[in-house]
Structure 1
Amino acid sequence: MKRRPRRSLPALLVALVVLAAGALVAITAVQLLLGEPPWISYDAVARTLHGLRWADTAVLLVGIGTALVGLLLLLCAFVPGARTVLPLAPGDSGVDCGAAQRSYRNVLHSAAARVDGVSDVKVKARSRSVKAVVRTDRTNTAGLTEAVERALAQRIDQLAPERKPTVKSKLKAARSK
């Protein structure tokens, strides 16, 4: 199970552009059917486009812009995004399961925050590594980083991700020794 994010922003932008173009054409067609002056004159557009040549700068710039937008949309479609679900090791039942990245990070954050002497912690959890930056108000910080790393490793063992990450922690003490 390796869920990836949806490409909703590029799809939304393309849908809005197509919707706006369709609405503009429909409004212009209705105005012509009702005998009112249209927002966009078909004759003026046809005259302008008929006067353009393939070698004109405007045609070249619009072509390059369209090609770049098309390549960008293709890139968005084919390049996979970051995982949103971290795969967990299959249990005895063999069922495919996973944990949301945010939930995984929050569980590890709470495990590190429960260690005695930790006043604040920031956890960055990726599939291959877990890094914790621990703040403490203690003057004697001996063994605190090891305790945080043990707590994180124990919690990771309980969660049983498909690939066990390396655990590293960094200590920032408010007071000097």
Structure 2
Amino acid sequence: MKRRPRRSAPATLSALVILAVCVLAAAVSVQLLLGERPWISYAAVTGWLHGQHWTDLVPAVAGGVAALLGLVLLLAAVLPGRARVLPLRGDLDSGASRRSYRSTLRVAASTVDGISGAKLKLGGRRVKAVVTTARTSTDGLADAVRTAVEQRIGQIDPATPPAVKVRLKTSGSTS
């Protein structure tokens, strides 16, 4: 189970642009059928378009923008997004949300004696923990945090366990 994010934003934006163009075309068509003055003159638009050459700046820029927009929409449709639910090992089709996974691992890092705060980032195959301590002697503290986080990962039992990287900051440091 690897639930991926929906591509609703690009699809909605594309649909709204196409809808706006269709509404405009329909409104101009109805105005022409009723014999009224249309919002956009067909003769003026076609006359301007026929006056353009492929080597002019306006068609080149419009073509480049259209190609770039098409490429962005194609990549949004084809490339997978970050998994929202991380699969767990086992017979059942089960998973854990990224948010709950991260908060559980943050709590595990914070429970180590001497740690005053922890921030975690979940990557594809690794967990980066930045922990803060007020201790002056930090010998073995990073290893203790790594062990606690790895132990919690073992309890959660994800399908692909991530590697754990711990960075230790003292409360007086600025890095």
Same fold at TM > 0.5: yes
TM-score (norm 1): 0.83
- Look up the match of 1:161: 158
Of 66-75 and 105-114, the range deviating more from structure 2: 66-75
- 2:123 is the counterpart of 1:126: yes
- Look up the match of 2:114: 117
Contact 1:5 1:81 in 2 (8 A): yes
Of 159-168 and 71-80, the range deviating more from structure 2: 71-80
TM-score (norm 2): 0.84
Give the RMSD, CA atoms, in angstroms.
2.3
Return the match for 1:141 from 135, 138, 142: 138
Q: What is the DSSP-based 3-state SS (H/G/I as helix, E as strand, rest coil) of the residue aligned with 1:115?
A: coil
Alignment of 1:36-115 (within 5 A): 36-90=36-90, 94-115=91-112
Question: Where has structure 1 moved over 6 Å in runs of 4 or more?
Answer: none
- Structure 2: gaps spanning 5 or more residues: none
- 2:20 is the counterpart of 1:6: no
Letter in 1 for 2:93: D
How far apart are 1:160 and its partner, in Å? 0.1
- Look up the match of 2:147: 150
Of 149-158 and 81-90, the range deviating more from structure 2: 81-90
How far apart are 1:163 and its partner, in Å? 1.3
| Number of residue pairs matched by the alignment | 173
Q: What is the DSSP-based 3-state SS (H/G/I as helix, E as strand, rest coil) of the residue aligned with 2:115?
A: coil
Letter in 2 for 1:32: L
- 2:9 is the counterpart of 1:17: no
For each residue in 1:34-61, what CA deviation from the matched residue of structure 2 results, as whole angstroms up to 9, or x when unmatched? 5442211122123223334455443343
Of 141-150 and 126-135, the range deviating more from structure 2: 141-150
Of 162-171 and 57-66, the range deviating more from structure 2: 57-66
Identity within the alignment, %: 54
Q: What is the DSSP-based 3-state SS (H/G/I as helix, E as strand, rest coil) of the residue aligned with 2:4?
A: coil
Letter in 2 for 1:126: G
For each residue in 1:67-90, what CA deviation from the matched residue of structure 2 results, as whole angstroms up to 9, or x when unmatched? 332222222222222222211111
User: Distance in 1 between the 2:171 and 2:51 partners?
Assistant: 73
How far apart are 1:134 and its partner, in Å? 0.8
Structure 1 98/65 Cα, relative in aligned 2: closer, same or farther at 3 Å?
same
User: Distance in 2 between the 1:101 and 1:12 partners?
Assistant: 25
Of 76-85 and 155-164, the range deviating more from structure 2: 76-85
User: Distance in 2 between the 1:73 and 1:147 partners?
Assistant: 46
Structure 1 45/109 Cα, relative in aligned 2: closer, same or farther at 3 Å?
same
User: Distance in 2 between the 1:36 and 1:112 partners?
Assistant: 72
Contact 1:86 1:127 in 2 (8 A): no
